[in-house]
Amino acid sequence: MPEGKLELVEENGEPVVYVEFAGKRIAKRFAGQGWIMLETGYRVYGGEPGGHDSISVEYDGNDAQPQ
């Protein structure tokens, strides 16, 4: 199974969390906002303040775009 990781970076003075999975950045999130998917076929859930303490990654190859 591919390894996933979170990366916290600063963009334009704002903290941004990236989810990297299988060596690709698949989603990002700005403080107080929802996840923005960067790769088709992936969905990222969780990590909401006051809500979930975990992040889940789902992949649906049927939704993915051919490269």
Q: What is the pLDDT of residues 29-57, one digit of tens each?
A: 998 889 999 999 999 988 766 655 788 88
Average pLDDT, rounded, for the chain: 85
**How far, rounded to the nearest angstrom, does the alpha carbon of residue 23 sit from its chain's CA centroid?**
12
- Higher-confidence residue of 5 and 1: namely 5
pTM summary value = 0.78
pLDDT at 67 over 60: no
Task: Break the chain into its structural domains and give their ranges.
Answer: 4-59
Residues 6+ apart with CB under 8 A from 19: 4, 5, 6, 25, 26, 27, 28, 35, 44, 55, 57
Q: Which of 31, 25, 58 is nearest to 47 (CA)?
A: 31
pLDDT band at 65 (very low <50, low <70, confident <90, very high): low
